[in-house]
Amino acid sequence: MVSYEIKRDRITIRTKNKKWEWVIEPRYWRNSLIWVGLLFIFPAVAYFVSPGLINTMISANLLAAIALPMSLMTLGTGRVNFGPNFFVGIGGYVAALLSIHLGMGPLFTLPFAVAVSLFAALIYSPLVIVARGLYYVLISLLLPGVFFEITVIYTNIFKGDTGLFGIKPLVDTGNAKINFILIAYLSLVIMVAFLWGINKTVKSRYGLIMAAINDDEEVAHGIGVNINKVKVITFIAASGMIGLIGWFYAHYFSSFAGQTYLTFTFMLKIFLAMMIGGRATMFGSVVGAYFVTFLEMLMIRYIGAIQPVLFPVILLILLFALPEGIFGLYRKRRYREYFPTIHVRR
Amino acid sequence: MAEIMKIRNISKNFGGIAAVKDLSFDIYEGETLGFIGPNGAGKSTVVNLLSGYLDTDAGSIEMNGMDITKMKPYQRAHLGLSRTYQIPRPFPELTALTSVATSAICGKKRYNQSFEDSLVEATHYLEFVGLFSKRSILARDLTFYELRMLELARALATTPRLLFIDEVMAGLNPGEAKDAIRMIERAKNDFGITIFWIEHVMAVLMEAADRIVAINHGEKLAEGTPEEVVNNEAVIEAYLGRGWKTYA
């Protein structure tokens, strides 16, 4: 009862009483469903072509899933947090310690990892109200470093130098390849869920309020926005999301080391993903994360591990050449589409 | 006429400097109250105190019988107090329509108002100030006069009962200034709001204000009808300096 029809410019699918039509025209390619669909096909294709690509994809998804809440945080608090990896560390260490010492599986460590991240964010949140500009940058930049120092000082708990091992794996089906592909899909689901939720928030009235805070806090306060409430809630929610990715890292690699996640290099990767896509643009963050991860993979394969040197250079060039990222170029031409405009016929 | 705002003995010190000293006056419902003073008299400080950006050191501010001395700016906005700025402060990255829509969403509480409703309402205010055709243009790309009008639309969209206008004439040419005055008059009549107008240009207030309060060094010099205030010795002395008569 299903009939297909392919014409020059459209595909039509008809069932008994429904009709779907897809117009093949570049301006409809902006439909995010197409791109998300392609991402879902990717692991299955990579499984047969080059299984190593799945690993890169997982990394890209996780990086995007950090860059997305980070963008939300930047938009909602009107400040750039230079230490989002602090919450990756918290989520990861909580999951790792609970799994190692209490033998908890990933499903049981998840609520604890997120809850502790949220609690840490709640304690951290007054800074979003009090500190501004350079002071906020300095404090947020220092916190992951301080946390790393703590993991080294209390090395009997955190194993700061070597990292914690023996964390229960995220998925355990007995078949390594299937595990891998399941993890790829799980990371993709988390990333897409973040993307959907955050994009929905940004396009709603709360997004508009956040944009107002981002533009001018005092004026936003004057027109009736409870800026402290909005800033704290955004900050805590975004931190919880980042903490969840820490949990994912810990169970995915079955090990967790501050050396990897609490250092400047990792922070730089998150930043580069955000900047390439465009500050505080959601789809841009995903593009940026994929770009950075694949660039890193190519660099390691063909030039050697010089990304700690090259990434800052790329970031600097981008700051001057393309301050609003790839999506900034698009936005400059078509900013009207960013927020709904209404057209009144006279 | 009932008082919409009662200001009693407010004071503000910045370090050792007393910016506002023991200032008291009332704003009555439906009037246009002019607020004048020479440079550095403390006009903007008073506006900041009344709109909640600064905390008073002493004294009380009441709005509709409610003590708002300790309230934050957003709470005062919800009660129906709105302001424009001396130098326009638009949201540069938002379009004209969305800037005004933000006000409509955040201002006085309106129940069951959807995002789309607020956009429709914003259109109304944009049309009122004559910026409808510029609704999709980013605020940073508007001209100075248009920014002033956008500020007015943004302030009106919070549905205020009392509107503070801070030196609306600054930077406008005579033609634009005339338009701006007419627009404020219309806003007052159409929306039934009370206006508290801080201004440097006396001629404007002579025409538009029902009453005028003059201050200097943070203290009240005179209060009364425009004619009374303009002919007040202390006011003239504050503007022209002591011994002005010898040069007159």
Where does the pLDDT of residue A132 fall: very low under 50, low under 70, confident under 90, or very high at 90 and above? Answer: confident
Give the total number of structural domains in chain B.
2
Q: Is A225's Cβ below 8 Å from some Cβ in B?
A: yes
**B83 strand-pairing partners:** B164
Q: Is residue B7 part of a domain?
A: yes
Single residue among B110, B143, B159 that ends a domain in this structure: B159
Please compute, for residue A97, the number of CA atoms within 13 A of its CA located in the half-sphere on the CB side: 17
For residue A345, what pLDDT band results from cuts at 50, 70 and 90? very low
Is the distance from CB of B168 to CB of B84 less than 8 angstroms? yes
Report residue B159: phi and psi, to 5°. Answer: 50, 65
Contacts of A224 in chain B (CB under 8 A): 74, 77-78, 103, 106-108, 158
B144 and B185 both lie in a single domain? no
Shared-domain flag, residues B37 and B113: no
When comparing pLDDT for B248 and A125, which is higher?
A125
User: What is the spatial order of strands in the sheet that A3-6 belongs to?
Assistant: A3-6, A10-14, A19-23
Q: How far apart are CA A248 and CA A113, in angstroms?
A: 10
pLDDT over threshold 70, residue A339: no
d(CA A59, CA A274): 15
- Cα of first residue to Cα of last residue in chain B, in angstroms, is 40
Q: Which of B130, B159, B188 is the last residue of a domain?
A: B159
Supply A23's token pair: 């117009």
> Do residues A115 and A270 touch, judged by C-beta distance below 8 A?
no
> Is A224 part of the contact surface with chain B (CB cutoff 8 Å)?
yes
Residue A297: is it exposed, middle or buried by C-beta count within 10 angstroms (0-12/13-18/19+)?
middle
CB contact under 8 A, A211 and B97: no
B164 in the same domain as B76 = yes
- B74 shares its domain with B167: yes
Q: How many CB pairs under 8 A join A and B?
A: 94
Asked if residue B85 is part of any domain, the answer here is: no
The whole-angstrom separation of Cα A117 and Cα A143 is 14
pLDDT at B155: 93
Quick one: B112 and B57 in the same domain? no
Determine the pLDDT at residue A301. 86
Look over chain B and give the mean of its residue pLDDT values, rounded to a whole number: 89
Test A224 with B78 for CB contact under 8 angstroms.
yes
- C-alpha distance from residue A114 to each of A80, A189, A235, A244, B125 (Å): 22, 17, 14, 6, 44
Classify residue B55 by its DSSP letter: -
Confidence of residue A328 (pLDDT cuts 50, 70, 90): low
Which value does ipTM take for this structure?
0.90
Using the beta-carbon criterion (under 8 Å), do B115 and A341 form an inter-chain contact?
Answer: no
pLDDT reading at B60 higher than 50: yes
Chain B partners of A340 at a C-beta cutoff of 8 Å? Answer: 116, 119
Q: What is the DSSP letter of B16?
A: T
- Token output for A11: 């595909």
CA distances from B226 to A166, A302, B7, B235 (A): 83, 81, 20, 12
* Chain A residues 201-220 with CB within 8 Å of chain B: 204-205, 208-209, 211-212, 214-216, 218-220
Mean model confidence pLDDT for chain A: 87
Same domain, B55 and B154: no
User: B135-161: per-residue pLDDT in tens?
Assistant: 888 888 899 999 999 999 999 999 999
* Statement to judge: residues B147 and B56 lie in one domain: no
Chain B interface includes A222 (CB < 8 A): yes
Residues B44 and B120 in one domain: no
Question: Which positions 276-335 of A are in contact with B (Cβ < 8 Å)?
Answer: 335
CATH assignment of the domain containing B28: 3.40.50.300
Query: Regarding the domain delimited by A31-337, which CATH topology (the fold level of the hierarchy) does it fall under?
Result: ABC transporter involved in vitamin B12 uptake, BtuC (1.10.3470)
- Nearest-CB residue to B123 (from A216, A226, A344): A344
Rg (CA), chain B: 18
Among B76, B84, B94, B110, most A C-beta atoms within 10 A, so best to mutate, is B94
Sign of the alpha-carbon torsion through A127, A131, A137, A142: negative
Q: What's the mean pLDDT in A125-144?
A: 90
B40 and B58 housed in the same domain:
yes
Kindly list the domain boundaries of chain A, sorted by start residue. 1-30, 31-337
Beta bridge partners of B5: B27, B63
Q: Which structure tokens are listed for B105?
A: 């969403």
Three-state SS at B57: coil
For residue B61, name the pLDDT band (cuts at 50, 70, 90).
Answer: very high
Average pLDDT over residues B196-210: 85
pLDDT at B52: 92
Residues B96 and B191 both lie in one domain? no
Q: Are residues B122 and B240 in the same domain?
A: no
B123 shares a domain with B28: no
Query: Percent of chain B, pLDDT > 70?
Result: 98
Name residues whose C-beta falls within 8 Å of residue A133's C-beta, 6 or more positions apart in sequence.
none
Is A143 an 8 Å CB contact of chain B?
Answer: no
In this complex, do B98 and A226 lie within 8 Å of one another by their Cβ atoms?
no
Which of A223, A333, A343, A345 should be substituted to probe chain B, the one whose Cβ sees the most B Cβ atoms within 10 Å?
Answer: A223
For residue A4, is pLDDT > 90? Answer: no
Provide the CA B230 distance to its chain's centre, in angstroms: 21
Q: Among B102, B123, B138, whose Cβ lies nearest the Cβ of A223? A: B102
Domain enclosing residue B213, as ranges: 3-80+160-247
CA distances from A260 to A97, A114, A181 (A): 17, 20, 24
Q: What is the pLDDT of residues A74-107, one digit of tens each?
A: 888 988 888 899 999 999 999 999 999 999 999 9
What does the block give as tokens for B153?
A: 């639309």
3-class secondary structure, B60: strand
Domain boundary among B116, B138, B159: B159
Query: Residues B86-120: pLDDT tens digits?
Result: 889 999 888 899 999 999 999 888 888 888 899 99
Tell me if B94 and A340 make a contact (CB, 8 A cut-off).
Answer: no
List the single residue in A212, A335, A340 with the smallest CB-CB distance to B91. Answer: A212
**pLDDT at residue A342 tops 60:** no
Rounded Cα distance, B178 and A75, in Å: 39
Token pair for A336? 């009207």
Predicted local distance difference test score (pLDDT) of residue A338:
47
Query: A20-48: per-residue pLDDT in tens?
Result: 887 776 666 667 788 889 999 998 898 88
Residues of A in contact with B78 (CB under 8 A): 224
Q: If pLDDT is split at 50, 70 and 90, which confidence band does A146 have? A: very high
pLDDT at A309 over 90: no
pLDDT of residue B210: 92
Nearest CA in chain B to A217: B91
